[in-house]
Amino acid sequence: MPINVLMPALSPTMEKGNLAKWLKAEGDKIRSGDVIAEIETDKATMEVEAVDEGILAKILVAAGTADVAVNTPIAVIAAEGEDAGAPAPTLAPKPVAPVAAAAPAPVAAAANPVVAPSPAVGAAATGARVFASPLARRVARESGLDLARIAGSGPHGRVILRDVEAASAAGTAVAGVAPVAAAPAAPPAPVAAAAPAAKPVGMSDETIKKLFEPGSFTEIPHDNMRKTIARRLTEAKSTIPHFYLSVDCELDALLALREQLNASAPVGKDGKPAFKLSVNDMIIKALALALVRVPDANATWTDGSMLKHAHADVGVAVSIPGGLITPVIRKAEIKTLSVISAEMKDMAARAKARKLKPEEYQGGTTAVSNLGMFGIKNFSAVINPPHATILAVGAGERRPLVKADGSLGVGMAMSVTLSTDHRAVDGALGAELLAAFKGLIEKPLGLLV
């Protein structure tokens, strides 16, 4: 039987992707595990492997097609001689069988039969006037019975005394309805909940374009990466209560240690040093160790619980053409500076070529965004879910400093700002984390443990 090749979900959040190219042509023989196509997501270019053997009998989605939904059939694999004129049927969710309304439980017949509902009963449902004799009204009121629920047997359905007495004796006002006397007082009508405030909507595309002279701009459609960045940042700022903490860190000791470590790096056969540490590598390690020292801050908020993480997985924002990606250094707290440096260089290069695997840029427990190389002194970063924190790092610069002994001097310093998800990391906890980070930066021998 022909087998559909479906558009794969290359990450838990992927909804669609671009079919970049086919690496096999119709009629090619295929073995399980062969790479048959390349898919572009918002973050990377991934390979699609065949899951069965046979012949690529039919290509259903042409190369270069954009926004192909996940689980859409993109090709058909068939055995030799098999007809693949139509794609194999795809599994669809089974419809849920409608649940029959439960029939009301039968009510035992009253000792004294009650006449079938009359117009008086219908009047109760519609709020119309109930016709009853004055005596029947008084007795019903004294007995706590609702006249609207009693079937009248008098002329034109009028409720008379015997109808009230029969209802009281039978314990029911009308067949199938609980006796009014036994029923608790009706609760007050529920107050309608206030409708949620509508989300603010920005100006429409056409409204914005009208603000500029025709021909004075070039319209460039958004690609998947830019759409995803826009959606995730909007969600982050709309749903995460951001809280900001800033501190200045002295860098002289860290820069001196970095120079010593780089000078001591062994030289390989190619004549190049085995590693060359950057300040950012040391910042990654310092943030990871700070989370170990303040474990309550190494957390993720969910609606049902707080996730406390065993390791510090640090994402690092990397600028790539058209956007941004955050590869993750896993278990950064137990890795040496040279290992962190090597992993960052490798992942940054593959990120710019869009060759990262989803597991290399998804998840993580915190992140670092460093704009110091651009001369930015300080800034506040937007938290990248599911993280509860992100550290924004500014440029190192020479500043006047007050030394520990109270004397004035000049030294290298940088400003950092910690953005926290206030649901998970409140002000005091964030301050404790930032103090631990500052201590590791200013006394950097702790980074070597």
Q: Is the pLDDT of residue 323 over 80?
A: yes
What is the spatial distance between Cα 160 and Cα 414, in angstroms, rounded to a whole number? 92
pLDDT band at 5 (very low <50, low <70, confident <90, very high): confident
Q: What pLDDT does residue 360 have?
A: 92
- Provide the domain limits for residue 328: 226-448
According to DSSP, the β-strands at 389-393 and 366-370 are: parallel
335 and 278 assigned to the same domain: yes
441 and 323 assigned to the same domain: yes
The domain tally of the chain equals 3
Other Cβ atoms within 10 Å of 39 Cβ, number: 20
Any catalytic annotation for residue 422?
yes
Q: If you average pLDDT over residues 398-413, what whole number do you get?
A: 88
* 181 in any annotated domain: no
Catalytic hit among 242, 309, 311, 422 = 422
**Phi, then psi, of 334 in degrees rounded to 5:** -105, 0
Q: What pLDDT does residue 12 have?
A: 65
38 and 162 assigned to the same domain: no
Q: What pLDDT does residue 131 have?
A: 75
290 and 357 assigned to the same domain: yes
Q: Is the pLDDT of residue 370 over 80?
A: yes
% pLDDT > 70, the chain: 80
Closest CA to 327 of 306, 353, 302: 353
291 and 145 assigned to the same domain: no
Q: If you average pLDDT over residues 333-361, what whole number do you get?
A: 93
Residue-wise pLDDT for 247-263, tens only, equals 999 999 999 999 999 99
pLDDT band at 91 (very low <50, low <70, confident <90, very high): very low
Looking at the DSSP bridge assignments, the partners of residue 6 are 73
Residue-wise pLDDT for 260-314, tens only, equals 999 999 988 888 899 999 999 999 999 999 999 999 999 999 999 999 999 999 9
Q: Is the pLDDT of residue 108 over 50?
A: no
Q: Is the pLDDT of residue 152 over 60?
A: yes
What is the spatial distance between Cα 394 and Cα 212, in angstroms, rounded to a whole number? 36
156 and 247 assigned to the same domain: no
Q: Are 340 and 286 in contact (CB under 8 A)?
A: no
362 and 423 assigned to the same domain: yes
Q: What pLDDT does residue 13 have?
A: 67
What is the spatial distance between Cα 11 and Cα 68, in angstroms, rounded to a whole number? 15
* 220 in any annotated domain: no
pTM exceeding 0.75: no
The CATH number of the domain holding residue 52 is 2.40.50.100
70 and 123 assigned to the same domain: no
